[in-house]
């Protein structure tokens, strides 16, 4: 049977990416007009060399502004249809200085033992918490289903990841189909024939292999498909291949949205996202980080190299399966991911600086040659 939280995984990743897209929608119309005006002005008034100097100064200003922005951590929750279980939890680490966003996926079935020192402190701070141990996705339901219960889940995730959470994002599972439909569907190359029927979940998938425009219902079937109704059908690599298709579909969708020239359609898309996403982002935060999100590399955000899943091993306790984990290892994996991404970005920056320097030298040499030629004449 398909697991509903696979839909969450897609929607949560989309929400983090589409947060960036929303910045694009909010600032694109005004920003493009201003940049066009500046470009015309510079072309009319300045020589090539001076234009290069102006551009360089603007880049320096942007970099200085970026350095002033602090690192922030955004937690995204995906609730099941009962609104009681946090079936998917993901953390986005935003680092403007290094121009990077890292994604940490926290498994829903992690075994949370409130008798442990790290978690007992959280329990003592909430009178409603009488739980000895449970799965991570059950904490919210068992501790009251209120804001305090959500705070407890956030504190648990902070203990696991070693990151302090700054902002919250809550996702509605039913939003995935509506978001796809809001852009008129997504053109995608379906890798294999997909046929699956499950009346219990009201899930019916019937897709043919090949390039086609998928509407919301089709897209939901695509990202949830793993095996077929008939024997021998489905992905040979199972879940691994499904995740790869999910990531590829997200990349395709984001590229399609960013290439969209119809501003009204883009606006409808962003509106659809926010109809299914609750956040505590304030206007000040939006304005402060607008340039950063506007210039993000969206392909990198959704790359598997830019994500980590908290490592765990299955174990049966009192007849129930849990995912057992080590806080020490979890924090190390998160730290390694963030530091790796930062090192990769620094390497890219060094290459860019070197390229810019060479380009500047070439321009300078050409300018000197022109000057010598004018003197000869």
Higher pLDDT, 293 or 143: 143
Neighbouring CB atoms inside 10 A of 285's CB total 14
Chain-wide mean pLDDT for the chain?
A: 77
Q: What is the pLDDT of residues 138-183, one digit of tens each?
A: 999 999 999 999 999 999 999 999 999 999 988 776 777 888 888 8
Q: What integer is the mean pLDDT of 211-228?
A: 89
Domains and CATH numbers, the chain: 5-179+261-352 (3.40.630.190), 184-259 (no CATH)
Confidence of residue 344 (pLDDT cuts 50, 70, 90): low
- Can you state the angle between helices 5-45 and 48-68, rounded to 10 degrees? 140
| pLDDT at 2 (0 to 100) | 41
Confidence of residue 272 (pLDDT cuts 50, 70, 90): confident
Is pLDDT of 340 > 80?
yes
Name the pairing type of β-strands 277-279 and 167-172. antiparallel
| pLDDT at 99 (0 to 100) | 85
Q: Tell me the three-class secondary structure of 129-162, residue by residue.
A: CCCCEEEHHHHHHHCCCCHHHHHHHHHHHHHHHC
| pLDDT at 77 (0 to 100) | 87
Q: Of 14, 140, 28, give the one whose Cα is nearest residue 84.
A: 140
Q: What integer is the mean pLDDT of 365-377?
A: 52
Is pLDDT of 191 > 90?
yes
Confidence of residue 246 (pLDDT cuts 50, 70, 90): confident
| pLDDT at 52 (0 to 100) | 60
| pLDDT at 84 (0 to 100) | 78
């Amino acid at each position: 049977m398909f697991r509903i939280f696979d839909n969450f995984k897609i929607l949560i990743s989309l929400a983090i990416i589409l947060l960036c897209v929303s910045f694009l929608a909010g600032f694109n119309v005004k920003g493009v007009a201003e940049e066009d005006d500046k470009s015309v002005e510079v072309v009319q008034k300045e020589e090539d060399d001076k234009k290069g100097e102006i551009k360089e100064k603007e880049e320096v200003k942007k970099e200085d502004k970026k350095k002033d922005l602090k690192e922030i951590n955004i937690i995204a929750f995906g609730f099941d249809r009962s609104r009681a279980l946090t079936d998917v939890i993901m953390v986005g680490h935003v680092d403007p200085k290094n121009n990077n966003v890292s994604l940490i996926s926290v498994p829903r079935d992690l075994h949370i033992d409130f008798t442990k020192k790290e978690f007992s402190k959280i329990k003592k701070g909430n009178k409603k918490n009488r739980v000895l141990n449970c799965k991570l996705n059950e904490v919210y339901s068992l501790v009251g289903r209120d804001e305090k219960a959500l705070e407890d889940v956030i504190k648990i995730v902070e203990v696991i990841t070693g990151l302090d959470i700054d902002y919250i994002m809550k996702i509605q599972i039913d939003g995935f189909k509506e978001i796809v439909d809001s852009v008129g569907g997504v053109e995608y190359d379906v890798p294999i024939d997909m046929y699956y029927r499950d009346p219990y979940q009201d899930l019916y998938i019937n897709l043919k292999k090949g390039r086609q425009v998928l509407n919301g219902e089709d897209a939901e079937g695509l990202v949830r498909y793993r095996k077929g109704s008939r024997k021998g059908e489905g992905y040979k690599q199972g879940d691994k291949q499904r995740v790869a298709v999910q990531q590829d579909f997200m990349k395709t969708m984001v590229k399609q949205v960013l290439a969209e020239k119809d501003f009204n359609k883009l606006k409808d898309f962003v509106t659809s996202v926010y109809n299914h996403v609750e956040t505590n982002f304030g206007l000040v935060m939006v304005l402060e980080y607008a340039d950063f999100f506007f210039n993000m590399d969206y392909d990198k955000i959704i790359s598997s190299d830019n994500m980590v899943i908290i490592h765990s091993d299955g174990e049966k306790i009192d007849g129930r399966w849990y995912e057992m984990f080590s806080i020490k290892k979890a924090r190390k994996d998160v730290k390694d991911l963030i530091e790796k991404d930062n090192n990769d970005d620094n390497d890219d920056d060094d290459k860019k600086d070197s390229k810019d320097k060479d380009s500047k030298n070439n321009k300078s040499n050409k300018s000197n040659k022109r000057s010598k030629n004018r003197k000869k004449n």
